[in-house]
Amino acid sequence: YFKYPIEDQSDAFVTIATTRPETMLGDVAIAVHPEDGRYRDLVGKNCVLPIVGRKLIIVADEYADPEKGTGAVKMTPAHDFHDFEVGKRHNLKLVNVLDGNAKLNDNVPEAYRGLDRFDAREKVIAEMESLGLLEKVEENLMTIPYGDRSSVVIEPWLMDQWFVDAERLAGPAITAVEQGRTKFVPKQWENTYYEWMRNIQPWCISRQIWWGHQIPAWFGPEGDIFVAETEEEAQAEANEAYGETVEIIRDPDVLDTWFSSALWPFSTLGWPDETPELKRYYPTDVLITGFDIIFFWVARMMMMGLQFMDEVPFHTVYIHALVRDEAGQKMSKSKGNVIDPIELIDKFGADALRFTLTALAAQGRDVRLSESRVEGYRNFSTKLWNAARFCQMNECHPRDDFDPGQAKLSVNRWIIGKLRDAEVAASAAVAAYRFNDMASALYQFTWGTFCDWYVELVKPVLLGDDEDAKTETRATAAWALDQILHLLHPIMPFVTEELWQQLGDNRPSPLITSAWPMLDESLSDAAVNAEMDWVVRLISQIRAVRSEMNVPPKALVPLLLKDAGSKAGAAMETHGELIKRLARLDSLGLLEGEVPKGAVQDVIDEATIVLPIADVIDIAAEQARLEKEIAKLDGEVKRFEGKLANEKFTAKAPPAVVETERERLEDACQARDKM
């Protein structure tokens, strides 16, 4: 706390508090609140700046807080942003006391010139104490800005810079979003955009760094500025202004990176020339970006696009989630939980990382990224590659004359219909910006339906003697794989483009410029879908029972279907050989009477699956194992029931935790009943 003597009043002072004593050498005024009665009579009078001797006018300004410090604030407009604004309101002088190295310059008393700011701080305090003008020193907790690269304290410093009148540019950009010409997804991010745009300040666009777009401004001999597109134009303007040929020097500053980036949507397309690329790709449709650069980049692209192209640069801004570690913590070097995407790409491939991020990118939820997730989607990429190899090995080549609507085999009509369902789900998800749902739909169809089932279901056809069936199946498989590559391409561009080129000769265009599949509703046959879905579920359940009952993989067992309806019976008759092959059965038939002893049962729709397995397993051992499992599940059911019966738990635990316990109870009950 320093005491500043009031001019022409002996032993009268105004006490000010400062955390940067060295800047007092640049003080030009003292501000007090207009309604602060302690200083009302002093407004308009002067204090004398100790050490320097400069007169400091006392001004009334609402920036001064009567409740903070002494209520009187020293004004150093050249070294404080708030003081600078007060200085503009009161036309205060600007005294810069620091040089570019944060040392005191020639605008301070000689004894201080060349001192480092922190050394000067100690010297100022010592001199003020020797003058009897140091009232007291207090500890003060505050936020101090540090350079992220230099790790030194950053100082506001007065210097000439280039600015853009951002307020004039912001108006049309605000209107564009208000009118819906550009939309934010999720919509709440519009509020962040509006908050910044409606309170926008002049934008400093010059930077004192080596790399960037150089500012197109030149200085004449007397400091006159000439702004032009080329140096020749600037030279001509300067010569005309001075009436003779003069030397001009270009401003060494470069443009702010965000200024250059704001031009990106059109400058990369040949602007200012009206190129075919500019005509085709501006404006673009969707910008995908992070919330932390809405003001730095999105808003500025909007301003520049409307200023120079008279059109918004994009119709939708999709704000993606923050990528966190697998525990949900924000990544930081200090925590040691940063995942390097380059390392993941080197290890698993770019497509695997892209698919992982897409699959986890649910709206409103941050992404929890782990290496194991990326590895899992690398396996998906491998699965796709192997499916393509299967098609190549079995001569499944794309045919221009193939019409999926003319397929006759149930298995082919089924995969065509399933593919159409996947396309509809993926298209709807994209339209709603639910990219995770798109990824899920395509993953489930590609791996769960095409690779796991269709490939297995058509092997007997491709190995059989029916040439017409083989021809249709080859064409269907090739067509279906082509559609899969189309649908996956936005998420996995590299592997899909590679397979696209490998699987077809003389493709008319690369995959990236091919049209998105829009499959006709007629391709989906509800009856065929129901029939083949039943076959798939039947085989799946038989396999599950065999696994649960420890039936040896090579053992063939009979299948009896009890209480089967006409559709189930017809499906079993039509696809009997296929069911026997994939479910490892030696026979199948309908059961009219009692279930034979030593048979295990399961339910599929209205029918009962009966598998007589007494001859291939140890019934007593399996019964004992099942009884042990049932006892274990009984214990789990009782534990969950007890927890949910506890009123303290249900009242105090978060609703999500209570719901999880209910789900666990339900799962345990179902598992026990099945056993």
Structure token pair of residue 147? 């350079």
Compute the average pLDDT of residues 112-133: 97
The 8-class DSSP code of residue 229 comes to: S
Which region among 100-109, 561-570, 579-588 has the lowest average model confidence (pLDDT)? 561-570
Compute the average pLDDT of residues 518-542: 94
Task: Answer yes or no: is pLDDT of 332 > 80.
Answer: no
Task: Encode 251-300 in three state secondary structure.
Answer: CCCEECHHHHHHCHHHHCCCCCCCCHHHHHHCCEEEEEEEHHHHHHHHHH
Residue type (1 letter), 389: R
pLDDT at site 271: 96
- 373 in Cβ contact with 356 (< 8 Å): yes
Please give the angle made by the CA atoms of 355, 378 and 397, to the nearest 5 degrees: 90
Give the three-state DSSP class for 414.
helix
Structure token pair of residue 324? 């966190």
In whole numbers, what is the pLDDT of the chain averaged over residues? 93
Q: Quick one: what percent of the chain has pLDDT higher than 90?
A: 77
Band (pLDDT 50/70/90 cuts) for residue 616 is confident
Fold of domain 2-130: Isoleucyl-tRNA Synthetase; domain 2 (3.90.740)
CATH number of 163-215+251-320: 3.40.50.620
Alpha carbon distance 670, 572 (integer Å):
28
Beta-strand relationship, 585-591 and 557-562: parallel
Site of tokens 């509020």? 191
Q: Give per-residue pLDDT as tens, 215-237.
A: 999 999 999 999 999 999 999 99
Alpha carbon distance 578, 531 (integer Å):
13
Alpha carbon distance 441, 428 (integer Å):
11
Task: Answer yes or no: is pLDDT of 104 > 90.
Answer: yes
Length of the chain: 675
Buried b / exposed e across 441-458, counting CB within 10 Å, b at 16+? bbbebbbebbbebbbebb
Task: Encode 152-182 in three state secondary structure.
Answer: CECCCCCCCCCEECHHHHHHHHHHHHHCCCC
- 182 in Cβ contact with 316 (< 8 Å): yes
pLDDT at site 328: 78
Band (pLDDT 50/70/90 cuts) for residue 250 is very high
Compute the average pLDDT of residues 484-490: 97
Task: Answer yes or no: is pLDDT of 508 > 90.
Answer: no
Which region among 138-142, 147-151, 557-561 has the lowest average model confidence (pLDDT)? 147-151
Query: Which distant-in-sequence residues (6+ apart) come within 8 Å of 69 by Cβ?
Result: 16, 17
Alpha carbon distance 458, 615 (integer Å):
31
- 603 in Cβ contact with 619 (< 8 Å): no
pTM of full prediction above 0.85: no
Please give the angle made by the CA atoms of 222, 224 and 227, to the nearest 5 degrees: 150
Task: Answer yes or no: is pLDDT of 651 > 90.
Answer: no
The dihedral built from the CA positions of residue 16, 17, 22 and 27, taken in this order, carries a sign that is negative
What does 484-521 look like in DSSP terms, one character per residue? Answer: HHHHHTTT-HHHHHHHHHHHSSS-SS-GGGSPPP---G
Query: Which distant-in-sequence residues (6+ apart) come within 8 Å of 102 by Cβ?
Result: 116, 117, 152, 155
pLDDT at site 363: 79
Alpha carbon distance 366, 387 (integer Å):
33
Please give the angle made by the CA atoms of 80, 82 and 86, to the nearest 5 degrees: 110
Backbone φ and ψ of 440, nearest 5°: -65, -45
Backbone φ and ψ of 510, nearest 5°: -65, 160
Compute the average pLDDT of residues 520-541: 94
Task: Answer yes or no: is pLDDT of 504 > 80.
Answer: yes
Compute the average pLDDT of residues 242-270: 96
- 443 in Cβ contact with 360 (< 8 Å): no
- 329 in Cβ contact with 195 (< 8 Å): no
Task: Answer yes or no: is pLDDT of 364 > 80.
Answer: no
Task: Answer yes or no: is pLDDT of 621 > 90.
Answer: no
Alpha carbon distance 99, 38 (integer Å):
37
CATH classification of 369-524 is 2.60.40.10, yes or no? no
Q: How many Cα neighbours within 13 Å face the side chain of 123?
A: 18
pLDDT at site 83: 96
- Terminal Cα-to-Cα distance of the chain (whole angstroms): 80
Higher-scoring residue by pLDDT: 221, 598: 221
Beta-strand relationship, 254-255 and 367-369: unpaired
Task: Encode 71-91 in three state secondary structure.
Answer: CEEEECCCCCHHHHHHHHHHC
Alpha carbon distance 584, 578 (integer Å):
10
Task: Answer yes or no: is pLDDT of 624 > 80.
Answer: yes
pLDDT at site 598: 82
Q: Quick one: what percent of the chain has pLDDT higher than 70?
A: 100
Task: Answer yes or no: is pLDDT of 330 > 80.
Answer: no
pLDDT at site 405: 94
Alpha carbon distance 75, 94 (integer Å):
10
Residue type (1 letter), 580: K
Band (pLDDT 50/70/90 cuts) for residue 597 is confident
Band (pLDDT 50/70/90 cuts) for residue 355 is very high
Beta-strand relationship, 163-164 and 203-204: antiparallel
- 322 in Cβ contact with 189 (< 8 Å): no
From the number of C-beta atoms within 10 Å of its C-beta (0-12, 13-18, 19+), residue 47 rates as buried
- Give bridge partners of residue 602 from the DSSP assignment: 609
- 381 in Cβ contact with 489 (< 8 Å): no
Nearest to 385 by CA among 507, 496, 491: 496
Alpha carbon distance 64, 66 (integer Å):
6
Q: Give per-residue pLDDT as tens, 365-388.
A: 788 888 899 999 999 999 999 999
Alpha carbon distance 443, 451 (integer Å):
10
Residue type (1 letter), 309: M
Band (pLDDT 50/70/90 cuts) for residue 149 is confident
Task: Answer yes or no: is pLDDT of 204 > 90.
Answer: yes
